[in-house]
Amino acid sequence: MGLSERPDGSGPARVVGLCGTCRHAETVTSVRGSIFCVCRLSASDPRFPKYPPLPVMVCEGYVSVQRCAGRGDGAPLS
Ligand code: SF4
């Protein structure tokens, strides 16, 4: 699940960085408002931590959720 950025740029997507729009990410907000990202790629590739330190600004595994839109099977377009 990706996170939407607020119009003023202060939203949670800025806090999590790339994970906010990555198809491998599952973002969770605690009752105290802390944001955690679970990287599902970590289950199959040890290079990626299950809980990446945020914000993630550069990542080899990043795949934009927008690249998967419209394909139906969720796979990247390229
Ligand atoms: S692959 Fe990278 S950008 Fe995507 S969820 Fe994992 S750590 Fe975040």
This prediction's pTM? 0.70
pLDDT score at 66: 84
- Best residue among 3, 16, 18 to mutate for probing ligand 1, ranked by most atoms within 8 Å of CB: 18
pLDDT band at 72 (very low <50, low <70, confident <90, very high): very low
Residues 6+ apart with CB under 8 A from 12: 3, 20, 27, 29, 35
Mean pLDDT of the chain: 78
Q: Indicate whether residue 54 lines ligand 1 (CB < 6 A).
A: no
Mean pLDDT, residues 32-59: 93
What is the 3 state secondary structure string of the chain? CCCCCCCCCCCHHHHHEHHHHECCEEEEECCCCCEEEEEHHHHCCCCCCCCCCCCECCCCCCCEHHHHCCCCCCCCCC
